[in-house]
Amino acid sequence: MDSEDISHTVSSVIPDEIAGARSAVQTLIDAGHTRIGMLNNTDDVPATHSRLKAFKDTLAGAGLPYHEELVQSEPSEVPGGHQAALRLLKTPNRPTAIFCYNDRMAMGAYRAAGNLASGFRTTFPSSVSTTNNLLPKTSTPP
């Protein structure tokens, strides 16, 4: 489950990483965002590469530029998301939305946003989108 046997001797069940990431990024685009950042995983696993490719492809499909400086990578846990989001949010031309590799990184992004919120009056990211579905079950508002 969630792992592929490269010898193809054992059946595998894996998520469609590209479709999930495209859907999450498209949600941000549909909400009107044009400068979107990404918090990505540092692990060399298929999901890391697939989600980044989907991020780039979805931006391109919408006619939006890809900005390498708006992609920050860390281990895909809450502390990693926090550190990556802090770097992203402290830039002068920060994104208005963030696509996160997973819910744990999104939790870290929310923490970073909360830490920095008092210093922002405009252009503070107003949307966070992620794959998985832990956040809607555990956060308020969902």
Q: What is the pLDDT of residue 113?
A: 86
User: 66: which DSSP letter?
Assistant: P
Least confident of 42-46, 72-76, 109-113, 122-126: 122-126
What's the rounded Cα separation, in Å, for the pair 97 and 61? 17
Contacts of residue 65, Cβ cutoff 8 Å, sequence gap at least 6: 59
Domain range annotation of the chain = 17-138
pLDDT tier at 132 (50, 70, 90 boundaries)? low
For 17-138, CATH number out of 3.40.50.720, 3.40.50.2300, 3.20.20.60, 1.10.287.110 equals 3.40.50.2300
User: Are 37 and 70 spatial neighbours (Cβ–Cβ below 8 Å)?
Assistant: yes
Contacts of residue 29, Cβ cutoff 8 Å, sequence gap at least 6: 36, 58, 59, 62, 64
- pTM for this model (two decimals): 0.82
Least confident of 25-29, 38-42, 74-78, 111-115: 111-115
What are the pLDDT digits (tens) for 108-123?
Answer: 998 998 887 665 544 4
